[in-house]
Structure 1
Amino acid sequence: MDLLPLLYASAMFIIVFGEKCADDCSCKWKSGKRTVECIDRSLTGIPEWIDPETQVLDTSGNDIRVLPSNIFIRLHLTNLQRLYLRGCHIDRIDNKALAGLTNLVELDLSNNLLSGVPGACFADVPFLRDLILAFNPIYKVFSYAFKNTTNLVKLDLSNSQISEVESNAFQGLDLLESLKLNNNGLSTLHPGTFDPLKKLTSIELHDNPWVCDCHLRDMKMWLVKHNVPTLVTPRCQKPDFIADKTFADLTIDDFACRPVLLIASPYSEATIGENASIVCRVSAIPPAHIRWYWNGRLLANHSSFSSFQKIIIYEVGQFRKKSTLVLTNAQEDDSSEFLCMAENRAGTAEGNFTLNVSLRTAGMSTLGSGQIAGISAALVVLILFILLIILVLFIRLRRMPFKESKSSAPLEGVPDNSAPESASTRRKNDNTETTSFSEFSKPPVSLNLSYVQRPQQTLTEETDYSLERRVLEESHQQPMRVPPGGPCFSSTISLMPIDNPDLIRDTRRGSAEELVAEYSATDYPRVDLDGNGKLLYSGCLWDRERTSVSVNTYPSKEALASIIAPVEPFPPGAKQIRVWQKGVPVLPPVSALKRVLGSTRSSPDEGYQEGTGTDV
């Protein structure tokens, strides 16, 4: 009893569905597919009563106009494999109109009102293999229009109004085998348009107004290379010299463009006696043949222009060719016009070049405005660079510290008026400068002679002159004592008055009489030998005899000379003395040194020159 209502409902559904199918459509099995044909039934949309198990749906010849989004999902027609919508006045297809049709392999949208390829809606039919868009007012196929139909095998774009196919329009159609572009408005194609079609076996290009020039050369080369057959051979409409000829009748070089002359300047300058050059640049596909004429005379390479002149022509490049005409030993009478003529199968192009031969070249007048501006900018940059270097050098010179004209280091033993040094400091500096002798020499004698310009006498320091007078006065009252066996020590001789600011130190060892004149000691009475202020200070003098001498009067020169034993002329390790001179450094003679070391000069500047130091 429970099955009776169910059977009744099923019978009623079959009766109603059969009546609908019989009245509006035709439901049948065709080629093993459940097919519903609703052709020319004045439908304004997809019928809602169609069985969800339908595999083939043909609604051609109706007035559907628009395919809204998700229409087949709402009607539960996701099992469709083939969909035919020919002549349904469709002018709009939403992006998600084919959503749910994952099994769709064939779609016919021909003879509708589509102005472009609805590439976005093809993303929901990834297994689509056959697409027909013929007889639609499509005027242009944009790049990547079929990027979502990677499994497409057949594409029909015939009988449309396509006038341009962009270079990447067929990108992604790696499996495409058949392409129909016949009966469109195509006159040319971009280079590389067919490169993605690696498996193409059939192509239809006839009934298009092809202009068979150099822009179609790439397509001709691709057809020859891949040997793709065409059912109907396309014909050329232009240019006129190959009009109405088929692609099969033309070679690759027949697809040519007329040469174009690229003339930067029609004038050339040359100097008398030198070679004159004229350059003609030509752009042409296929490469043009270039000829040179002068006064109607054809100039050949390595031909004679006159008895002492020769023509040389050489070319470089292919599609952009550069032809150079060289006239050797140009003369002023050669100033005239030369004709450059370029020719290929598409036509000819010619241009006149004027040669001007003068005594000397025009110089800057031959340069273009860009070259003159470049040279001017380079000069400005160079001038600024030189000024920058001068500024850096000037700043560095101003930052350098001031140097003394005679010596960069202060002279030892020379007192400074601003900071007078004590007698103990002077003795310390003198001992530092003492000459050291070899340990194998005879009893050492260390001498240090200082000729110093003394500062004004102050309350804290006695001058050598006042000290000398005091020692001489005391020597009349007490005997001179020499410490027995004491070591040799350095002493200082001060000659007064001396106004020379240069310090001269001498460790020379000479005769006994000169030693007597040079030895001095501040701790013992001074002896005036010649009345010129030369004093003796010596501890080593009396150390020779290891005796203690007491005198109440000044000894004579002969008495002192008999006590001192002869010494070596010049001990090893003796220090140098520096003599300041004006002008070129020279080695002072012995007589000049004697005058310098002596005190018989009438003036402080006698016997030496200031300015330059010389080591002796």
Structure 2
Amino acid sequence: MTTISPNALAGLPRLQELHLSSNHLAVLPEALLQPVPTLRILDLTDNLLPDLPAGIFHPSIHLRHLVLQGNLLQALQPSWFVHLTQLRWLNLASNALLEVPPAALRPLRSLRSLDLAHNRLQHLSADTFVGLQMLERLDLEGNQLRALPPALFMPTPALRLLFLQNNALQVLPDGIFSPLLHLRVLDLAHNHLQALQLPPRSPPGPPLSLDMSGNPWACDCSLLALLQDAAPQLIAARATRCASPVQHRGQEVAAVSQAGDEGCQHGGDKRSPLDH
């Protein structure tokens, strides 16, 4: 299907689910959803949409799940989401988004899951997620993020699942995960990180599931002490190796942490420069 008529849904006032995935739609009429005010789920996965009409979702005040994955979207229009205060699931993965306007997501105060994976995001502003106090799952995998604002996660204290793998992160700001007392899964795999930041432990409960593989870790006293204290459940531990100092280069981080470091045990300087 390459086109759809503005009145295609006329006569369906009780429609709650609409699946239009895997077609060749490049344009949607702005009035398409006006006849279906009770719509709860809309799936537009894998079409050819480069943009959407400004008021396309204005009639859809009861929408709970919106899937726009696999289209050609390059920009988010804040007008799309103004009336989606009941939306719980938003999937924008695998588009061509270059940025997230600071005010775009703010109306989505009921949102639980946000997927921005596999876009072209290089930067996020500190207030990108303001208003998303209910957010539990955030996926930023496969973008081009080099750094994160220190206060990025302050507005999302309910976050439980956070995916940051396959970006270009080099440094994590001090305390960036401090607001995330309920975090249970953190994926930092395949970035350029040497030092680690973790959220505070909040026992009782399961340990943090952590994937930190594929980074050039500096196995100094700070990292070893952090891992020993936080005791996360390491995913892909065999692929999580030290890049420095020389005596640990190529060794598994978990093994070095478990064995301890004699220099650290004897009061070695946790902030000592790396031995290259």
Q: TM-score, normalised by structure 2?
A: 0.75
Partners of 1:119 and 1:148 within 8 A in 2: no
2:260 to 252, 258, 269: 252
2:133 to 126, 146, 149: 126
Assess, with a 3 A threshold, how the Cα gap between structure 1 residues 171 and 249 changes in structure 2: closer, same or farther: closer
Q: Does 1:219 align with 2:226?
A: no
Partners of 1:176 and 1:197 within 8 A in 2: no
Q: Could you say what secondary structure the match of 2:48 adopts?
A: coil
Task: With a CA cutoff of 8 Å and minimum separation of 6, indicate the structure with the bigger relative contact order.
Answer: 2
| Equivalent residue number for residue 63 of structure 1 | 72
| Equivalent residue number for residue 88 of structure 1 | 95
| Equivalent residue number for residue 112 of structure 2 | 105
Root mean square deviation, CA, Å:
3.2
For residues 414-447 of structure 1, give each alpha carbon's deviation from its aligned partner in whole angstroms, at most 9, with x where no partner exists: xxxxxxxxxxxxxxxxxxxxxxxxxxxxxxxxxx
Partners of 1:46 and 1:59 within 8 A in 2: no
For residues 245-265 of structure 1, give each alpha carbon's deviation from its aligned partner in whole angstroms, at most 9, with x where no partner exists: 1123223216x5xxxxxxxxx
Structure 1: give runs of 5+ residues left out of the alignment.
1-8, 28-32, 257-284, 288-317, 321-345, 348-616
- Per-residue deviation, 1:49: 4.6
| Equivalent residue number for residue 141 of structure 1 | 148
Is the helix fraction higher in 1 or 2? 1
Whole-angstrom CA distance in 2 between matches of 1:46 and 1:79: 20
Whole-angstrom CA distance in 2 between matches of 1:117 and 1:78: 22
2:170 to 163, 176, 201: 163
- Per-residue deviation, 1:101: 1.2
Q: Could you say what secondary structure the match of 1:63 adopts?
A: coil
Is the strand fraction higher in 1 or 2? 1
Whole-angstrom CA distance in 2 between matches of 1:195 and 1:123: 19
Partners of 1:111 and 1:134 within 8 A in 2: yes
Assess, with a 3 A threshold, how the Cα gap between structure 1 residues 240 and 99 changes in structure 2: closer, same or farther: closer
- Per-residue deviation, 1:63: 1.8
- Structure 2 counterpart of 1:64, which letter? L
Whole-angstrom CA distance in 2 between matches of 1:131 and 1:228: 20
1:115 to 95, 116, 122: 122
Whole-angstrom CA distance in 2 between matches of 1:142 and 1:49: 32
1:230 to 230, 234, 241: 234
Question: 1:236-315 maps to which residues of 2 (within 5 A)?
Answer: 236-250=242-256, 251-253=259-261, 287=266
Whole-angstrom CA distance in 2 between matches of 1:146 and 1:70: 24
**Range with greater deviation from structure 2 (142-151 or 45-54):** 45-54
2:198 to 174, 179, 194: 194
For residues 172-219 of structure 1, give each alpha carbon's deviation from its aligned partner in whole angstroms, at most 9, with x where no partner exists: 111111111111111224xxx32535365211111111122x3xx223
Whole-angstrom CA distance in 1 between matches of 2:234 and 2:172: 19
Assess, with a 3 A threshold, how the Cα gap between structure 1 residues 157 and 59 changes in structure 2: closer, same or farther: same
1:14 to 2, 12, 22: 12
Question: 1:359-508 maps to which residues of 2 (within 5 A)?
Answer: none
1:178 to 182, 185, 188: 185
Assess, with a 3 A threshold, how the Cα gap between structure 1 residues 136 and 197 changes in structure 2: closer, same or farther: farther
Whole-angstrom CA distance in 1 between matches of 2:181 and 2:242: 29
Assess, with a 3 A threshold, how the Cα gap between structure 1 residues 201 and 319 changes in structure 2: closer, same or farther: closer
Partners of 1:68 and 1:93 within 8 A in 2: no
| Equivalent residue number for residue 45 of structure 1 | 51
Percent of aligned positions that are identical: 23
Assess, with a 3 A threshold, how the Cα gap between structure 1 residues 45 and 148 changes in structure 2: closer, same or farther: same
- Structure 2 counterpart of 1:101, which letter? L
For residues 99-128 of structure 1, give each alpha carbon's deviation from its aligned partner in whole angstroms, at most 9, with x where no partner exists: 321111000011111113344131121111
Partners of 1:62 and 1:87 within 8 A in 2: yes
How many residues align? The count is: 239
Partners of 1:130 and 1:155 within 8 A in 2: yes
Assess, with a 3 A threshold, how the Cα gap between structure 1 residues 12 and 169 changes in structure 2: closer, same or farther: closer
Partners of 1:39 and 1:58 within 8 A in 2: yes
- Per-residue deviation, 1:164: 0.5
Partners of 1:68 and 1:96 within 8 A in 2: no
For residues 326-347 of structure 1, give each alpha carbon's deviation from its aligned partner in whole angstroms, at most 9, with x where no partner exists: xxxxxxxxxxxxxxxxxxxx99
Whole-angstrom CA distance in 2 between matches of 1:12 and 1:136: 39
Whole-angstrom CA distance in 2 between matches of 1:40 and 1:319: 55
For residues 550-583 of structure 1, give each alpha carbon's deviation from its aligned partner in whole angstroms, at most 9, with x where no partner exists: xxxxxxxxxxxxxxxxxxxxxxxxxxxxxxxxxx
Partners of 1:144 and 1:171 within 8 A in 2: no
Partners of 1:178 and 1:203 within 8 A in 2: yes
| Equivalent residue number for residue 273 of structure 1 | none
Structure 2: give runs of 5+ residues left out of the alignment.
1-6, 34-38
Whole-angstrom CA distance in 1 between matches of 2:199 and 2:10: 59
Partners of 2:139 and 2:162 within 8 A in 1: yes
